[in-house]
Amino acid sequence: MCQGFKASGIHAKIKKKNAKDLGLIVSDVPAAVAGVFTKNQIKAAPVLLDMERIQSGVCCAVIANSGNANCCTGEQGIKDAVRMAKAAADKLGVAEEMVLVSSTGVIGQFLPIEKIESNIPQLFDALSSDGFVDFAESIMTTDTIPKKISRVVEVAGKSFAITGVAKGAGMIRPDMATMLSYVCTDVEADSSTLHELLTDAVNLSFNRITIDGDTSTNDTVLILANGKSGASLNDAAVKKAFKTALEEMLIELAKMVVKDGEGVTKLVEIKINGAASDEDAEKMADTVAHSPLVKTAFFGEDANWGRIIAALGRSGVSLNPDAIDISFNDIMLIKNGLWCGADAEEEATKVMKLDEFEVVIDVHLGNGSSSCWTCDFSIDYVKINADYRS
């Protein structure tokens, strides 16, 4: 259990349906904080506010809502975000700058701030050290399951805990992936070290997943460290163990986000090997991972490798068409740019029926490699996104 943190999630009637839509995370003591935010130039009001407030490096609480993104809401939006944070800060008895705020949902409607303010007492009443699943539920939009994982790490005679939650669903792509993710840890840390470790971990996880290639205006990943465990990142062994745990947990959360993407039936890892550079490999992996034709073939469980080849060919990376191998898990379907035959295709098609599999592509140009996680493009993706606002 992550010491000194409590969380909650309640229904404040921001969403029409009866589902949790307002959440709170509180640290008993001021925590070191770091964050990474959407690179979309259109940033929601809470993102703009958090980017400013996080400069102080400390934070006592995060308040978040779903059902409304408070984005493209102009000055009124900023005022509402400030009011939302202030409502929590007042109740907590701390300066309003010590509270961060997130919103997710429909863009362009004003936040129903009175509903949030009037539900502050219930939100605080619900706080519990077991409240992270409730919090994770409160930030869901078209997600179907709350995403929360915890880990206790023992190292050098000490132990610390990390708890992470995330929400995703649509608008997921590299250069910010998860719309919202929060990590709480009782390790002792300064905010600049936290920022460095968080950035590295996000680059390995949330920035390597894609659902539909769109990037949200509200993407936010925050990490809070309150030092309650007594284990400190100043201890090299603790720092190393923390870094590893954080990366593994964010990768796990990122994969949970893809698997719970809108209409997703399959989680597919695209691995590129043998590229001239890691950058080239990343470009190829991203192009394959984003191709609607590749993704609909995944949905159709069709080992349509021609679409993969075509995506590689337009990725902007120099290729030798006669030196491309493609495998589905350990079934090699293409060797030196040519089809390995009907038997191989039959086996590859079996692989595609799995919930999770990998497509391994070797372009035989060098030692560069990269991988990313993608998903299939299903009929339900279209249904969900055609109907989302109605």
Stretch that binds a copy of itself, among 127-135, 189-197, 237-245, 285-293 (CB under 8 A): 285-293
- 343 lies in the binding site for a copy of itself (CB under 8 A): no
From candidates 16, 17, 55, 74, binder to a copy of itself by CB under 8 A: 74
- Count of other CB atoms within 10 angstroms of residue 346: 11
Q: Per-residue b/e over 272-303, b at no fewer than 16 CB within 10 Å?
A: bbbbeeeebbbbbbbbbbbbeebbbbbbebeb
Q: Does 310 bind a copy of itself (CB under 8 A)?
A: yes
Rounded to 10 degrees, the C-alpha dihedral 5/228/231/194 comes to 60
Residue 234 contacts residue 242 (beta carbons within 8 Å): no
Q: Shortest approach of a copy of itself to residue 218 CB, angstroms?
A: 9
Among 41, 55, 157, 236, binds a copy of itself (CB under 8 A): 41
Q: Residue from 160, 182, 242, 377 that binds a copy of itself (CB under 8 A)?
A: 377
In this structure, what DSSP letter does residue 11 have? -
Candidates 299, 328, 357, 373; binder of a copy of itself (CB under 8 A) is: 299
Distance of CA 147 to the CA centre of its chain: 10
CB 105 within 8 A of CB 218: no
Out of 95, 339, 355, 356, the only residue in the binding site for a copy of itself (CB under 8 A) is: 339
3-state DSSP: the chain helix, strand, coil percent, rounded to 5? 40, 30, 35
| Nearest-approach distance from CB 333 to a copy of itself, in angstroms | 9
Q: Decide: is 390 part of the binding site for a copy of itself (CB under 8 A).
A: yes
Size, binding site for a copy of itself by CB under 8 A: 62
Copy the structure tokens of residue 96: 């309003």
Q: Is 220 a catalytic residue?
A: no
Residue 226's SS3 state is coil
Q: Which is nearer to a copy of itself, 123 or 344 (CB)?
A: 344
Residue 114 in contact with residue 75, Cβ under 8 Å? no
Query: In the range 183-242, which residues lie near a copy of itself by CB under 8 A?
Result: 212-217
| 286, containing H or E segment | helix 278-290
Binding residue for a copy of itself (CB under 8 A) from 318, 346, 356, 367? 318
Q: Which of 208, 313, 309 is nearest to 268 (CA)?
A: 208
Q: Which residues are catalytic?
A: 178
Residues of the shown chain interacting with a copy of itself in the complex, contacts defined by CB under 8 A:
39-43, 69, 71-74, 106-109, 170-171, 175, 212-217, 290-293, 296-297, 299-300, 302, 304-307, 309-314, 318-319, 321-322, 334, 337-339, 377-379, 381-383, 385-390
